[in-house]
Homo-oligomer: A and B are copies of this chain.
Amino acid sequence: MRAREYGFVVGQVPTGPANAITDVPGVRVGHANAVPDHAGVTAVWPHAGDPWHDSYFCATAALNGAGELTSTQMIDEWGYEETPVFLTATSYVGSVYAGATRILTAREPRIGRDDVIIPVVGECDPSAWCDVREGPEPGEALVAEALDGARDGAVAEGQIGAGVGMETFGYAAGIGTSSRVVGAHTVGVLLLANYGLTEHFVLVGDPVGRTLAREAASSGEGSCLCLVATDAPLLPHQLRRLARRPFVGLARTGSYGSHGSGEIAFAWTTANLLPRDGADELGLRMLRDDPLSLLFAACAEAAEEAVLNALCAGRELRGYDGTVLRRFPAERFARA
């Protein structure tokens, strides 16, 4: 059951059909885990084509950047990216980066000849629950599985793919997604939710965390890596603005961007793709200001709901040391 099925409705903007980042046409999500209860990989294809042949405008932002999002320098400089997006555990960023480089290189003969790639890999840290010293470390095969298994439509949420071992406000969380439709355009958010002290949790305006904190505690404050996709024709500097809006949604759930938190966002558009081999000048479309405000508000809503979806999807996880990461008892707070 997802958040809306419990009556946790965030905001007033309508969702897309799958209420997921995949509502942005072309976006596909895949998960892979070597074993079910250990952090794996989530891969996201940013648009319907091959990002190496058609690069896509994108940008990053951070409320508190205590995490890793590789390729940040290049994204900031060029305003576009050339690879899919990967999420994993902090300790496996190198492994997934290496796996992605090998797979994408093997599949495209021009990589390593005409040009090289710098993949986008984001992370959160599940080491309170997964033994990242012992692994299994995700390798090339797992990266390929996530890439090749990526699908549109409904997205598996919670403790799956990169989401295993992720804890939010003291409960099992991980992957969460949601979308909003604003006129002709869609904005979708997918989070790797792994943040927050129980006492800070606000459930659609209700500070339930103050009560829940009496029952049990969170293991720490963690991070939240946010992906934002849209089909609105935005330019890179507009995507940088959009990339800040998931933090508005996180703030409403109780985040304040703790010192150690990687509240980092990566936003892109499927419009305005840049073909690798093309003319020196290109025609583009640009969305103007007023509809941009609506997208901002919609993005904040989708991020807040994605957190709740991650929590509602979270199954109980037995940690490597035997302690249990509890499932969020959504039914106790269900609204009619």
With A77-B62, A133-B105 already in contact, the answer to whether A283 and B280 are too (CB < 8 A) is no
Task: Tell me whether A67 is interfacial, beta carbon within 8 Å.
Answer: yes
Task: Tell me whether A206 is interfacial, beta carbon within 8 Å.
Answer: yes
1/0 contact string of A79-116 vs chain B (CB within 8 Å): 10000000000110111111111000100000111001
Count of this chain's copies in the oligomeric assembly: 4
A255 touches B248 (CB 8 A): yes
Query: Chain B residues near A52 (CB, 8 Å)?
Result: none
Interfacial residues of chain A within 165-202, with CB under 8 A of chain B in the complex? 200, 202
**Considering the chains assembled together, what is the distance between the CA atoms of A53 and B280 in angstroms?**
29
Task: Tell me whether A164 is interfacial, beta carbon within 8 Å.
Answer: no
**A237 shortest CB reach to chain B, Å:** 4
A99 touches B94 (CB 8 A): yes
B285 touches A281 (CB 8 A): yes
B91 touches A259 (CB 8 A): no
Query: Chain B residues near A111 (CB, 8 Å)?
Result: 133
Interfacial residues of chain A within 194-225, with CB under 8 A of chain B in the complex? 200, 202, 205-207, 221
B127 touches A116 (CB 8 A): yes
B125 touches A296 (CB 8 A): no
Main secondary structure of the interface of A (DSSP, over half): mixed
Place the interface of chain A in its size category.
Answer: 35 or more
**A119 shortest CB reach to chain B, Å:** 7
A68-B73, A235-B235, A259-B289 given; 20 more Cβ-contact pairs under 8 Å: A63-B248, A64-B77, A65-B74, A67-B74, A73-B264, A78-B237, A97-B98, A105-B132, A116-B127, A205-B205, A235-B236, A248-B255, A248-B256, A248-B257, A251-B252, A258-B297, A259-B296, A279-B288, A283-B283, A284-B286
Q: List 23 A-B contacts (CB under 8 A).
A: A64-B241, A64-B244, A67-B73, A67-B74, A68-B71, A69-B73, A70-B70, A79-B237, A112-B127, A116-B127, A205-B206, A236-B237, A247-B247, A248-B255, A257-B296, A258-B296, A258-B297, A259-B289, A259-B292, A260-B289, A282-B286, A283-B285, A284-B286
Using a CB–CB distance below 8 Å, which chain A residues touch chain B?
A: 60, 62-74, 76-79, 90-91, 93-101, 105, 111-113, 116-119, 125, 127, 131-133, 137, 200, 202, 205-207, 221, 233, 235-238, 241, 244-245, 247-249, 251-252, 255-260, 262, 264, 274, 278-293, 296-297, 300
